[in-house]
Amino acid sequence: MSSLSPIQIPSRLPLLLTHEGVLLPGSTMRTSVDSARNLQLVRSRLLKGTSLQSTILGVIPNTPDPASDAQDLPPLHRIGTAALAVQVVGSNWPKPHYTLLITGLCRFQIVQVIKEKPYPVAKVEQLDWLEEFPNTCKTREELGELSEQFYKYAVQLVEMLDMSVPAVAKLRRLLDSLPREALPDILTSIIRTSNKEKLQILDAVSLEERFKMTIPLLVRQIEGLKLLQKTRKHKQDDDKRVIAIRPIRRITHIPGTLEDEDEDEDNDDIVMLEKKIRTSSMPDQAHKVCVKEIKRRTYVGSMPGRIINGLKTVGVNNPVFLLDEVDKLGKSLQGDPAAALLEVLDPEQNHNFTDHYLNVAFDLSQVLFIATANTTATIPPALLDRMEIIQVPGYTQEEKIEIAHRHLIPKQLEQHGLTPQQIQIPQVTTLDIITRYTREAGVRSLDRKLGAICRAVAVKVAEGQHREARLDRPDVAEGEGYREHIVEDTKPESINDTTDLALPPEMPILIDFHALKDILGPPMYEMEVSERLSQPGVAIGLAWTPLGGEIMFVEASRMDGEGQLTLTGQLGDVMKESAHLAISWLRSNAKKYHLTNASGSFDLLENTDIHLHFPAGAVTKDGPSAGVTIATCLASLFSGRLVCSDVAMTGEITLRGLVLPVGGIKDKVLAAHRAGLKRVIIPQRNEKDLEEIPGNVRQDLTFVTATCLDEVLNAAFDGGFTVSTRPGLLNSKL
């Protein structure tokens, strides 16, 4: 052991509660502070402290800080990391918040929470010690084979990286200079690991256990790098081969090669064929047809059709063809592609398919055709009849988040020359982009928004590199050495210095909601459910669109008139019929539910006009699924009662009040879940479709299955919708 005394942390530490990341000893992390207790900790302890001890705090992972200090303190994680606050950057726009740069010192265990307000303070027990261990042969022997095995994998991992990068070269030097005891924590914080894995390493108090848990993480990272390097090597070799072939063809063309000989033979064949036609003494009409056919088959740009040309490219007779977006086929003067596809896709005749260029029959019965479309409404019925339809629902929010963090974000980082050390996009930020900036079944718009964020960050990174280049002078050449020893040399005065608040953001740049507003602008979509249902005559329906499910508001109003029903909102014929069915059913059941018009008559249309409106009038709406929503909306209008603000519904109705099944249940339920609704009314015959809905969505929602409109109305209103309801009674939600 060293003769130097170990660094000992105070026995009492203020606690910083975090839930976004895990700080390990020896690593550095940037964390955002905007909750009540954490803000008090920064203002009272860090910004007003006058000693080095005042900059030491306890970081508790996996524990969110309540938004208000009036709320009770949540259960605290048992193991934490004592940390030194290296930098504090604050801002008052749009609300007070701070960003802390903290460096982990050692582990500690909470013994007792002494106080909870204005910020939590706990009595702690230090679990490991931050010492200066000599790098001697004796120390290596004491560490044993486990340490040597870990060191071997660590060196292998670092040497697989680009050593020309200064940070990589510095990391390689640190492997030899740092004590082996510190390496598991440091490398775990550097390699790609989840917060759960980092939390397990933090909880591993035993050094032997720490080594055993970290070695598999290193091996996993090494295998991933090997696969990545292998893939890149093949891609580079292919690119080089393509580049080498193109100059040979374009520049170093040698006359008399095999390619020239083939072209000469083709020209000779054409000349000989034309000569034979001229000397054949065929009739004039036949001669014209022959000459026309030769020109058709030899003019520049002539080639077989796309199907035959594709078969020629792959060289097999049983490939898979992808026909993308067949719902966007259109007729033109060149022909009707839908009619041409009939012959290709029809299993009764595609075994004898004839291409108009070759005029030779070809068997397409072994080819598998996969077509994609956003909607089947625009596909010709005859063509649709030849297809097996597979409905692919849109992604859930959870699926979009995983796709973004596994595929889209790494792709955008690579395209914009960024690294995870330069930009961090938390999952909560991704959720904000999905719910407030995009509205789609897929992830195409999400990918574009992530690209816009990466471009904005790339500009900031380039500006920062330019600024560092200007400041790169001989008198600051020792700056790197200073940053290595910043833990020991940090002065308390630097934390109180107000100039630190104006420092530019350091890497990584954290993308939060405020950054989203600056980069992407104000949110494009906002949830407005409760505001829209603040008066009678409004109900929420569920609709299916090619972009996924959507909630749909139905509004109704009445005025003095001649019994006319006005429908607005670009409705199709089916929805117009649903509206007439709903008003007819209500008129026939007005006495049962004591529904009257303004004059007290049970004839709801007597001297009364009704106006039904479906907002977002620029969007055409049609389909058999709005009947129950229209009936509920009109029942609310004539009863003067509010529809429950957390209820959405879908289903078609009959004149007798039966509820019929509809399609697109999964997409519609996901739309209700996105909007924050709690109950969904569906036809009873659609109950089987609930099996397709993810389990976490089913847990958040209550489903009501209905066979008739009576059951729908009872579920849509607080306290039910029974015959005892009196006209003119308004049940306030307050």
Which residues lie below 8 Å from residue 544, measured CB to CB, with a gap of 6+?
Answer: 550, 623, 625, 663, 664, 667, 668
The position carrying tokens 């200073």 is: 482
CB atoms within 10 A of CB 634: 26
- Return d(Cα 540, Cα 695) in angstroms, integer: 24
The values of phi and psi at residue 73, to 5°, are -70, 130
* Residue 546 in tokens: 């090619």
Rounded (5°) CA angle 422-425-429: 155
Alpha-carbon distance 539 to 631, whole Å? 9
Structure tokens, 205 = 């108090």
- Of 591, 551, 549, 583, residue with least CA distance to 564: 583
Q: Are 697 and 721 in contact (CB under 8 A)?
A: no
User: What sign does the dihedral 339-341-346-349 (CA atoms) show?
Assistant: positive
Sequence-distant (≥ 6) Cβ neighbours of residue 202 within 8 angstroms: 22, 24, 61, 79, 81, 107
Contact 655, 585 (CB under 8 A): yes
101, 23 Cβ separation under 8 angstroms: no
Contact (CB, 8 A) for 655 and 686: no
Q: In 3-state terms, what secondary structure has residue 653?
A: strand
Cross-strand partners of 538: 555
At 668, the amino acid letter reads K
189 counts as catalytic: no
The residue annotated as part of the active site, out of 54, 625, 639, 645, is 625
d(CA 628, CA 174): 69
Q: At what angle do helices 258-278 and 284-298 cross, to 10 degrees?
A: 170
CA of residue 333 relative to chain centroid, distance: 42
CA distance 616 to 675: 17
Catalytic residue among 400, 449, 621, 668: 668
Q: 């004539």: which residue's tokens?
A: 638
Question: CA 103, 104, 105: angle at the middle one, nearest 5?
Answer: 120
Is residue 625 among the annotated active site residues?
yes
Strand-pair category, 702-706 with 679-683 = parallel
Name the residues annotated as catalytic: 625, 668
